[in-house]
Amino acid sequence: MKLTYKLTLAFLLISLLAIGLAALFIQGRIASEFNRYLEGQQQNNFVLAVRSYYNENNTFNGVDTYLRENQLLPPLNELNPPPQPYVLVDSKRVVIVASAPYVIGEKVKQGEIDKGIPIESNGEAVGTVISTGQPLARKPLDQKYIDQINQALWIAAFGGMLIALLLGLLIARSLTRPIRELTHATHKMAQGKLEQEIPVRSQDELGELAQAFNQMSADLTKANLARKQMTADIAHDLRNPLTVVSGYLESLQDGKLKSTPERFAIMQMEVQHLQHLVEDLRMLSLADSGELRLHLEPIAPAELLESVASAYRHQAEVQKIQLKIETDANLSTVNLDSERMEQVIGNLISNALRYTPEGGEILLSAKQFPGSLILGVADTGIGISPDILLHIFERSYRGDSSRSGTESGLGLAIAKSIVELQGGNIKAEQRAEQGSKFLIAIPIQ
Ligand code: ADP
């Protein structure tokens, strides 16, 4: 059964119970209040009649006939007289007009007289009217009045239930609407249409669900786009060197070109680039699948920086760039995988060398803060614009997309994975003076 119907049924059952109980209660209450009203009126009539009779006749003799004439007592010949709950007692506490369980001539206790209504004539107590507490029989007209009220009550209850049913249906539909929209959008996503947006209609849990769904859809769309872009970039990056190498090989084979050391060097460079790219991809997929094994050992940060710098010193000299190291004294050792960290910092230095012009400077630094060690690679190069900064650690992101260089665009993504696997994090910033700065924070236990 549909959730809408289930909810409607639940609303209906609850309202049925509530309206039914209320109607029963009101019906009972009306009956008892109406009886009380009738009894009060009847008692009043009885007392008034008895009093006026005494005032006129100075005695209660013959009062029963008078009451019968006024229909305040049932006629004598009636077979099944309706109950008449009033008893008249004279000043000597003797019953004059009786009703069960009292009988005429019976003497009544003072306690009962006290509960009754005294009849006075010229300021003197001449008798008492006592109520037996027996319920009055309703007259046909009174009964008709009560029946009509009850009928109206049940019609109102039925109307209330119809309204509850309609409202329940409306509320259930509006409650399940976001769920229907979500299901519809989910089906579409399953069919491959990842970009879905459902309206957020409320600030409650369903609204939160819709928001989370929209976020998920946006993230998936973005990730899907990035994956497509990366595949295209990689295909492009693989094709270029392969075209160069196969072109050379063909020409060499045909004898159109002579094999010279320079041509082999070019081919070797392209093959190296391919190897590099394949290695980067392997690293990323290892990091993704959590299979990148780390060999953590205590290493001294200053030594780590020195060791990487020495590998790039020659290239820096060739490019006339100064490669400097600045470290705090007494740095504590940190548990790191030295080979992987050398790879990360090496990548940052090689980027810095690529984007820094002649006469520039690259500064490697290590600073200790409470709880963490910050390794920095700063350059005086072209710097990174804010919109590029946002995406710089994404896979296959190149700041300058027109550049057809030998870079894979995976270097920083790999660096981020490796740093994060070791519990640290990496960020990039634009330096105030000039150039860019990469900071790696490693927690110290
Ligand atoms: P690539 O292999 O293409 O260099 P990276 O992931 O290492 O890929 O870098 C991504 C992009 O970040 C680069 O294309 C470049 O635009 C930018 N970038 C990286 N390092 C620097 C730097 N030191 N100065 C300026 N831009 C940089």
pLDDT bin (cut points 50, 70, 90) of residue 403 is very low
> Ligand 1 center to residue 238 CA distance, Å?
19
How many domains in the chain?
3
Rounded distance from Cα 211 to ligand 1 centre (Å): 34
Q: Name the pLDDT band for 408 (thresholds 50, 70, 90).
A: low
Measured in Å, residue 384 CA sits from the centre of ligand 1 at: 8
Q: What is the pLDDT of residues 121-132, one digit of tens each?
A: 888 888 999 888
- Domain ranges, residue 373: 297-443
Minimum-distance ligand 1 atom for the alpha carbon of 438 = 23
Q: Which of 279, 283, 382, 412 to mutate to test the pocket of ligand 1 (most atoms within 8 A of CB)?
A: 412
Give the domain-ending residue among 241, 263, 289. 289
Query: Which pLDDT belongs to residue 104?
Result: 85
Report if residue 23 sits inside a domain.
yes
| 158: amino acid identity, one letter | F
Residues at CB less than 6 angstroms from ligand 1 = 351-352, 355, 379, 381-382, 384, 388, 392, 397-400, 407-409, 411-413, 436
Beta strand residue intervals within 328-435, DSSP E: 334-336, 361-369, 372-379, 425-430
Cα separation, 411 vs 396, whole angstroms: 8
Whole-angstrom distance, CA of residue 210 vs CA of residue 214: 6
Do both 217 and 322 map to the same domain?
Answer: no
Mean pLDDT of the chain: 89
Average the pLDDT over 384-413 and give the result: 72
pTM: 0.57
Confidence band, pLDDT 50/70/90 cuts, at residue 402: very low
Does residue 226 belong to any structural domain of this protein?
yes
Neighbours of 430 (CB within 10 A): 15
Residue 93: give its domain's CATH number.
Answer: 3.30.450
Q: Are residues 326 and 356 in the same domain?
A: yes
Least confident of 57-71, 135-149, 405-419: 405-419
- 375 belongs to a structural domain: yes
Distance 230 CA to ligand 1 centre (A): 15
Q: What is the pLDDT of residue 231?
A: 85
pLDDT 10s digits, 227-276: 888 888 888 888 988 999 999 999 999 999 898 999 999 999 999 989 98
| CA pair distance 426, 343, nearest whole angstrom | 14
CA of 399 to the centre of ligand 1 (A): 6
